[in-house]
Chain A
Amino acid sequence: QKEVEQDPGPLSVPEGAIVSLNCTYSNSAFQYFMWYRQYSRKGPELLMYTYSSGNKEDGRFTAQVDKSSKYISLFIRDSQPSDSATYLCAMSADNAGNMLTFGGGTRLMVKP
């Protein structure tokens, strides 16, 4: 079993839909949780960074962490075609991540 599990997709949604992306993990030591967006042939771009359990909102993006269930989510409201990318969750037990453990990535396609 992988330490971090992420549905690879692809996930196809119409423009304007609410998107829910999820990761589950097994290591209870993880405290720092990140979501990265990666466009084709580009490096990952940090979208959200959260510590421990709770919610964090930034514009159309909301990150949720439920440490008791070892489950994290990224919600995208009013999805746009420009949101089409691969979304990677990442997590770390140390202070924001010398050692990041990545999910496999979910490929999202938002159709106009």
Chain B
Amino acid sequence: GAVVSQHPSWVICKSGTSVKIECRSLDFQATTMFWYRQFPKQSLMLMATSNEGSKATYEQGVEKDKFLINHASLTLSTLTVTSAHPEDSSFYICSARQGGQPQHFGDGTRLSIL
């Protein structure tokens, strides 16, 4: 149980394009979803928290116009990196939780901007 699916697992695109990453909770309804960024050999850095039907709450230093988050249903959240540049290249990981349960993580998306 508590499976979180993230897609795509790897994406390469040209500088200036926008990239959408999907995060789905497959066997539970996620009241809250989270988006993290992870640099090599470092721990996870929380970017934003979203509740279904509400605007996401962004952490300090994270540009909300750059990283658009939509949490349209209890099983789906999307992160769109707009006008991506090489410095946005990173490993992006989503997580989801239901009620008082711990967060469960997706397998991450490796984003490479050329």
Interface positions of A (Cβ within 8 A of B)? 8, 32, 34, 36, 41-46, 49, 88, 95-100, 102-105
Contact = CB atoms under 8 A, between A and B. Distances in A.
A44 B49 contact: no
Dominant secondary structure of chain B at its interface with chain A: strand
A47 to B, nearest CB: 10
B110 to A, nearest CB: 7
Contacts of A104: 42-43
B102 A44 contact: no
Interface stretch (B61-69, B71-79, B80-88, B93-101): B93-101
Contacts of A46: 2, 102-105
A108 to B, nearest CB: 14
A96 B42 contact: no
B104 A105 contact: no
B6 interface: yes
How many B residues touch the partner, as a band? 20 to 34
Contacts of A44: 44, 93, 105
A105 B43 CA distance: 6
Contacts of B106: 43
